[in-house]
Structure formats: C-alpha cells, structure tokens
Structure 1
Amino acid sequence: MRTPVFFFTAAPPYAAPPTVQDTLRQLWVFALRPKLPRREHKVVETKLPLILQLALIETVLQTLLFIALALVFSAAGADYLPTGYARAFSANLSFFPVFVMAVLLAPLTEELVFRLPLVYSRSFIVVAVLSFSICYGPVLAQAAGAPAWLVAAGALLLVILLGGYLWSRKWQASMYLLWKRRFGLVFYTSTVLFGLLHLLNYQRSALPLALLLLLLLPKLVGGVFLGYTRLRLGMGWAVALHMYHNLMVLLLLFGYMARV
C-alpha cells in the first residue's frame, strides 16, 4: 500500500550559518544607518550561531574599550572601575541578591523599556512607558530631589498623554510614521536614553562630568548590540545577551573584590 502523498513534507532548504565577517559587516552597516533588518527564524542554523558571534564581538569590543578607558582615567589621575565603584558596590552585599537584581531583573526591565518598542506597536509603547514609570520613575524622582506634588503632577500628565495616545488615531499615525521614516532617530534616541539612565549608578561619584560621560560609552556600545539583536533575532535573544553581559561584569566585580 502506498503512503498518501500528504504525509510527505518537503525539507526546508539548508541555510549556512552566517560568518563572523558577515556579522561584523552587517552590524557596521546597521550602526551607520539603522533600519529594520531581515528577521531570522531558523534557530539552530542562524540564530544560535549569530547570538554567539554577537556575544563574542561585543565581549572583545567592551574589553578593548575597558582598557582604553582605564588608560584615560589613569592619565587623568582618577579611579576607574573596579577600583572605587566595585568596592562600594559589593562590600556589604552577598552574591545571590545582586545576581537576581543585576542579571535577572535589570536586563528584563531595561529591554522592556528601551528595546521592546523598537518594533512599533501600540501595545509595545504602552508596556515600555508603564515599565519605565513604575521601575525608574521613583528612582529618578528621588535622585532629582523632586517634591511629592511635582511627582504627582508628572504622573498625572503621563496618564493624560498615554490616554490621549491610545484614544487619538492621529497621534498613533504620527508615531507610526516617525518609526517608519526616522527609525535611525528612534533607535539612537533609545540607545542614548539607555546610556544616560546608567548615570544613576554614579550619583555619589565625584568624577568630572566629562569622565562620567566617558563611562557611558560601554553602555552606548552595548545598546547598539542589544538593539540589533532585538530587531534581527527577537526580544528574548536581546534579554539573554543583556543577561550574559551583566553576568560577566558581575563576576569580574566579585572576582576583583575577592582579591583586594
């Protein structure tokens, strides 16, 4: 008895995994002129090799940037990480709570705020705004020393603006056109805001503003990698890459503290 034809399915065509050279070239082109890249769907053949390559490339770049910044800070006579910040960061904290906060929660929250809405969607915008307001609004208000009435007024204004956006088709159409026609502006605005948010890590630092801004360079580089990963591979892969990066930093900090 012959097997019915409908039991046969054609095997998908084999796609060779991307080379490191191709990944570097595509990443460079994207960084110069951000636009929505072709979304990958094959996990084993494309996504896994690509995420490993991106992690490797970012690790190398961040290491070189770390060395360069350490030399600049040394020439300026200022302490660079981990000499000052690491000691204050991990002196009285055990590894596990810092791991949960820095490796699990922070990457998820930051990706929801800064990378999720890179693909335009009304629901993505709402999730990003609410996540930012809940997770970072109180911290920013405290850092700025804002009085309670100003915080309440800001929250009310945010609710009004968000409601207007959800109600008005004109606002939604304008936002969609902004994403479509000025995606580079949207991408780098998100990346810069992601970097500036990390100034909260140095609230008690006595470093000059110029050196503080230099400390944001690794965050800006990481933001480009995470944004590219989110757009080409998907949100979950960007969260995973962010967790990997934070885990490496955390291990280095605690490893350094174990020796001093």
Structure 2
Amino acid sequence: MKPAPSSQMRFRDELKDFFYFLRHPRSARRLPGRVQGDGWYLDWFAPLPWKRLLQWAGMLWLINALVLGPIAVSVAGVGGAQHRLDPTRIPWVQAIIWAPIVEELVFRFVLRRPSQWLTVVPLAVFLMFQGPNWWLIQGLLVLCLAVWISRYTGMPRQALPAGSSWWRKLVGALQGRAWRFSSMRRYWRFFPWVFYGATLAFGALHLYNFQLNSMSWYLLPMLVLPQCLTGLVLAWLRVRRGIGASIVLHAIFNGGPVLLIVGLLKLFDGIPV
C-alpha cells in the first residue's frame, strides 16, 4: 500500500471524530483525504496514512500500558487468573500476520458490508479457532478468494426482488448479493448494537488468553479492557477508512509489544527466540 496523501484532518480532529462516533455509531462517510476510485478496491488497498496509524498505535500502547493494562493485571491477581502466554515462546506469526487478517474479517469486515457476512464470516471463524498451519493457510487463501468473488457477486449486483423464494434468498446470501434498500435501512438502525456487540465479542475472545481458575464472572470484563478499547478504535477505523487500514493498525498494535519482548529476551537473557 502506498502512503496516503496528506490528510485534511489533524490527529486531534480524528480523536474528536472517534469519540463522536462512539456516541452515535452510524454509516459514516470516509475520512477526508481518501482518494477517489473503486470503493471495493479502496476498502482494502487505499493509500494509508502511515504516520497517523502509528499515532493511533502509540496512543493505544500508552493507554494500555499506563491505565488499562495495570487494571487488568490487578484484577487477574485478585481473581486468581493466570496469563497463558509464555514470553519465551511468542507466536509472532500468529500475532502479527494471522490474527490481524482473520480477526478483522470475523469481527469488522461486515460492519460496512453486511451482505457479505455469510460469504466471509463462517470460514473466517473456523480459521480463527484453528490457528495457523499449512493447510489452514490454504484455507485462508480460499477465504481471500471468497472475498474477491464477493466483489463481483455482491454489491455490484441488484438486490433480489421482493417475494423471492427462500432458496433464492439463501443463494443470494451465499453470493454476498446486495441487500434491498429497506433491509439496509433496518441494518443501519440496529448498527450501534452490531458495532458494540462485535467489540464485546472481540474482547471476550481474548479471555482465552487466561487460565481463569475460579475467577468471579463479574471481573472478567476487566481482564480484557485493553482489547475492548483497541477493538473500538479498529471498528471505527474500519468504517471510516476501510478494512485494509484496520488490518494494518491491528498488525502494528500487536507487533510493537512482540518486538519489544523479543528484543528484551535477546538483550538480557540470551534466550533463543
């Protein structure tokens, strides 16, 4: 992806837009500065403002390290939860490459393209829970092919006429065929529930990173506060910039701590990584 042209919004302006979006999640126009062209292609491959993505990643690292991370650690100590991650055996490929692609397809791809949910989400969920290996990498390629096919079987086509039979509707859903205007209007009416529901589900997924032992259920949300905040930013970015931007920010966000841990291990302990 090429660097984006200079943005018309300062970082503080994007922050204001983000907080306004949290109060009023909606079908929003893209952020200023986006180039014109094929909407589907630009959703994935629009030129990215790399400096701006690094600013967002830096802000998330800072808040999580100074505020939300210590809260999660304290709650884990009180509740007896233990983190599963072994810092000497970090799955860096999964953290930096696999997870950003698959998790963004599961939780955020359909936020702006709901008609493609049956084309993309089921296979993405399967890949997410299986983790990366050779034959599943082939599965990811199949998923990418399904997403590519959805470009031609989805939004460019007209919606099915009213009164279509159930099997035609099922085939249309599998194709990712465009929804009728009335269906899209209902979707955007319930979009805040979809937006926050996807964020909560993303946070809940990361409870798997812990051995919860006998921890009280009402403390569980505190363990994943960092992931919930990150999920909100990624979901906003997906709607306002595109799925490609959210995947890249997700990879940057995961990659920073991974590279830091690997560097510290090599520098101080000499543990092979």
Same fold (TM > 0.5): yes
In 2, the alpha carbon distance for the partners of 1:243 and 1:234 equals 15
The TM-score with structure 1 as length reference comes to 0.67
Q: 1:133 aligns with which of 119, 126, 131?
A: 126
- In structure 2, give the amino acid aligned to 1:209: W
Q: Which has the larger radius of gyration?
A: 1
Summarize deviations over 1:176-234 as a string: whole Å, max 9, x none.
34422111111111111111112222246554434432111111111111111111111
Give the TM-score, by structure 2 length: 0.64
1:85 aligns with 83
CA distance in 2, matches of 1:163, 1:256: 57
Q: Provide the rounded CA distance (Å) in 2 between the counterparts of 1:119 and 1:51.
A: 20
Query: C-alpha separation between the residues in 2 aligned to 1:234 and 1:189?
Result: 19
Q: What is the rounded CA distance, in whole Å, between the counterparts of 1:207 and 1:132 in structure 2?
A: 27
Question: What does residue 197 of structure 2 align with?
Answer: 189
For the residues of structure 2 that align with 1:110 and 1:26, how far apart are their CA atoms?
24
Aligned pairs for 1:1-260 (under 5 A) are 17-40=8-31, 41-42=34-35, 47-63=49-65, 64-73=67-76, 76=78, 78=80, 85=83, 88-91=85-88, 93=89, 98-136=91-129, 165-167=170-172, 173=180, 176-203=184-211, 205-254=213-262
- Number of paired residues? 213
One-letter identity of the residue aligned with 2:83: Y
Distance 1:205-1:77 versus aligned 2 partners, 3 A rule: closer
Which residue of structure 2 lines up, in the alignment, with residue 144 of structure 1? none
Q: Amino acid of the residue matched to residue 209 of structure 2?
A: N
CA distance in 2 between counterparts of 1:162 and 1:209 reads 42
- How far apart, CA to CA, are the structure 2 residues paired with 1:90 and 1:212? 22
Is the alpha carbon distance of 1:257 and 1:207 closer, same or farther for their aligned partners in structure 2, counting shifts above 3 Å?
farther
**2-side partners of 1:130 and 1:109: how far apart?**
9
> CA distance change for structure 1 residues 33 and 85 in 2, over 3 Å: closer, same or farther?
same
Root-mean-square deviation over aligned CA pairs: 3.5
Structure 2 gaps of 5+ residues are: 36-45, 132-165
Deviation at residue 54 of structure 1 after TM alignment:
2.2
Tell me the SS of whatever aligns to 1:89.
Answer: coil
Report the Cα offset of residue 238 of structure 1. Answer: 0.6
Tell me if the contact between 2:99 and 2:128 (Cα under 8 Å) persists in the aligned partners.
Answer: no
* Counterpart-to-counterpart distance in 1, 2:100 and 2:214: 27
CA distance in 2, matches of 1:128, 1:187: 15
> Is this contact kept in 2: 1:112–1:131, CA < 8 A?
yes
Structure 1 unaligned segments of length 5 or more: list them. Answer: 1-13, 140-160
